Chain A
Amino acid sequence: MKRAVRVGAGEGLVITANRLLDGAIVWLSADHTWQTAIQRAEVLVPEAVVERIEGVQSRAQADGVVGIYEIAVRPEVGGPVPVTMRERIRAFGPTVHPQFAYEQQEGAGA
């Protein structure tokens, strides 16, 4: 059984996945579409996550996404920022190639 994500004070959860076609990282927005910019992700309270994941899981094939799960974020001025280094790298790109950093203003859908 999957372990629940620990959420600290002032933190929320966002839902993420990889795009089936190219593996690109995507984030679930408030209108239930998958976006490539974490700024467009909807920040949820823990109580809302299970139901939301069940919903998107059921249409994952139609949406073209795989590996759906939730991560903890801190709300910041520019948008939610993942708590862990792993998820910050997923959100903003590898730290070793500045040219591969993700453009955060371009939020093309999945």
Chain B
Amino acid sequence: MTTAIGQYQYDQVDRDFLAARIEEFSEQVARRLDGSLTEDEFKPLRLMNGLYLQLHAYMLRVAVPYGTLNAAQVRAFADVARRYDRGYGHFTTRQNIQFNWIRLEDTPDILRLLADVDMHALQTSGNCIRNVTSDEFAGAAADELVDPRVHAEILRQWSTLHPEFTFLPRKFKIAISGSPNDRVAARFHDIGVIARPGDDGRVVFQIFVGGGLGRTPIVGQELYDSVPEERLLATLEAIIRVYNAHGRRDNIYKARIKILVQALGIAAYREEVEAELAQMDIARYRLSPEMVASIEARFAAPDLQVPAGAADILAEQRARDWVFDRWVRSNTHAHRSEGHIIAVVSLKTPGEIPGDVTADQLDRLAGLSERFAYGELRTTHLQNVVFGHVRQDQLYDLWRGLVEVGLGAPNVGLIGDIVACPGLDYCALANARSIPIAQKLGARFADMTLQEQIGALQINISGCINACGHHHAGHIGLLGVDKRGEEFFQMTLGGRADDQAAVGKILGPALPEDDTVDAIARIVDRYLQERSGKESFLETLKRVGEAPFKEAAYDTV
């Protein structure tokens, strides 16, 4: 395998460990099949390897460390989709990928296939520290202060098979960003980390704790403003030790760190962390500049050379092709390097399933990354895919390659860019289907001109209170509920996951699916009537309050 950029490069120790782990799981599968292990004994073992039993089949959730992938890995996903699934993969709201039609006996072979490209499914389930997520524009965005991937990798290595944190009271999610513009929903994580340069040039970390969605949505609180780099691991270790010691194990609904932080208060939690730090062997946890440099050295960097006039070529192509120009407006982001640009591939083609990709599309994404993006891709927690470094003079050819396989939707950040969990069509926990209503909304707002006119408006849909679709954080959120066997949807307005994070407020009674689609159409119409100048939906909502939208939503019901 060739060296890919933007990713930590495995060595033989990493590969030997994965191989041993797969052989262990392979034996566990064999023992389950021959009856040596009961289902109750086997379930925690398969979950530790990312294997769930869902409605129709086993589901394998594969970790995508901080959302970074190379072309070979994406081709491996296509291979899994074709050989072991039904031709699809599904990108999740935690930057991972799921396969919904997996056979138990095939799982060891799938894990071997993934290990060949340095991938695994560890810690994508269970009450452990889950896959660390990061900014999909890491190392590329013009607004970035610190590339978060090196520290994300350090957190990955620290948290993988951490002996003390393998059986926490509940699952534990960490996100890290290096931009002041929070693209990782840091304040909705158990721990959110925002990196920035300190006064002496060394990196410091703002740390939020106790955020989360699910049954009890809470915005995380700042625990520290400026943790020095060398204290990062010690601090995180102490935070999680306090949680591990005091988090509630008697009630699954009150077991997340957010409940503990609320119960103690942030000041008392900080005191507990300080007390823990005071009795720790800090030197053992010191993250030295040499250690950081050694991890950094395992990342290859792209050679960002561009021919003269690249920007002019892009401008000329935009002027010549208005469809391309519209896609550039919605689906690109400013790059730190002149002559380059970041491209976001929408996996929200109107009427299709949010986050789903076919094996052929995965192969195409891999090929396009090799031709136009240094062989590197990223996944986003909004269920899209990013090419981080694209030469501006090559963006047009990249876009045409996407359009050929149905991935040219110009709707990133617009109302058609809907986030949805798999819902009741696949998930054993769900109460309602998320995908059909997402498809109906996508079709209702398929007119791209209308989407541009509406502007930034994020719809998030969850099929149950566990909130995998992050509905509390949607500008418009939908929660599927079951009422005597029928599906209804509860609407929330005003949620957001950025640096002004807020939990959406419930608008009123839940409505049936088609009535909900109509209600959202009326809410959008009312917004277009009410907005002043170029106000976004959230700005108008803040100015006029929810009353006009409530009136519109329940107008004819």
Contacts and interface: CB of A to CB of B under 8 A. Distances in A.
Interface of A: 18, 20-25, 61-62, 66-67, 83-86, 89-90, 93-97, 100
Contacts of B39: 20, 66-67
Contact of B103 (A22, A62, A94): A22
A89 B55 CA distance: 8
A85 B486 contact: yes
A95 B438 CA distance: 13
Nearest to A65: B39
A20 B34 CA distance: 11
A23 B103 contact: yes
A90 B57 contact: no
A74 to B, nearest CB: 11
A22 B104 contact: yes
A89 B104 contact: no
B105 interface: yes
Contacts of B435: 95-96
Which of the listed residues A23, A67, A93 has the most CB atoms from chain B within 10 Å of its own CB?
A23
Contact of A23 (B35, B57, B353, B482): B57
A9 B522 CA distance: 40
A96 B439 contact: yes
Which of the listed residues A22, A85, A94 has the most CB atoms from chain B within 10 Å of its own CB?
A94
B32 interface: yes
Contacts of A89: 55, 424-425, 433
A61 B41 CA distance: 13
B510 interface: no
Contact of A18 (B53, B425, B426): B53
A60 to B, nearest CB: 8
A85 to B, nearest CB: 6
Contacts of A66: 39, 53
Interface residues of B, number: 31
Given A62-B35, A85-B424, 19 more contacts: A20-B39, A21-B33, A21-B105, A22-B58, A23-B57, A61-B38, A66-B39, A66-B53, A84-B485, A85-B485, A85-B486, A85-B487, A86-B430, A90-B55, A93-B56, A94-B56, A94-B425, A96-B439, A100-B86
A62 B33 CA distance: 10
Contacts of A100: 86
B57 A22 contact: yes
A32 to B, nearest CB: 19
Nearest to A61: B35
Given A61-B35, A96-B353, A21 B104 contact: yes
Interface string B474-486: 0000000010011
B436 interface: yes
A95 B432 CA distance: 12
B425 A20 contact: no
A65 to B, nearest CB: 10
Contacts of B466: none
Contacts of A20: 32-33, 39, 104
B317 interface: no
Contact of A94 (B32, B35, B102, B426): B426
Contacts of B436: 95-96
A66 B54 CA distance: 12
A25 to B, nearest CB: 6
A91 to B, nearest CB: 10
Contacts of B425: 89, 94-96
Given A66-B39, A85-B487, A95 B104 contact: no
Contacts of B432: 85
Interface string B232-268: 0000000000000000000000000000000000000
A97 B439 CA distance: 12
Contacts of A24: 56-57
A18 B43 CA distance: 14
Contacts of B485: 83-85
A20 B86 CA distance: 19
A23 B424 contact: no
A22 B106 CA distance: 9
B433 A95 contact: yes
Contacts of A85: 424, 432-433, 482, 485-487
Contacts of B486: 85
Nearest to B37: A61
19 contacts: A18-B53, A20-B33, A22-B58, A23-B54, A23-B56, A23-B102, A61-B38, A66-B39, A83-B485, A84-B482, A85-B433, A85-B485, A86-B424, A86-B430, A90-B55, A95-B435, A95-B436, A96-B425, A96-B436
Nearest to B425: A94
A17 to B, nearest CB: 11
A66 B51 CA distance: 15
Interface string B14-53: 0000000000000000001101001100000000000001
Contact of B53 (A61, A67, A83, A93): A67
A94 B424 CA distance: 8
3 shortest A-B CB distances, which residue pairs?
A23-B57, A94-B425, A22-B103
B157 to A, nearest CB: 33
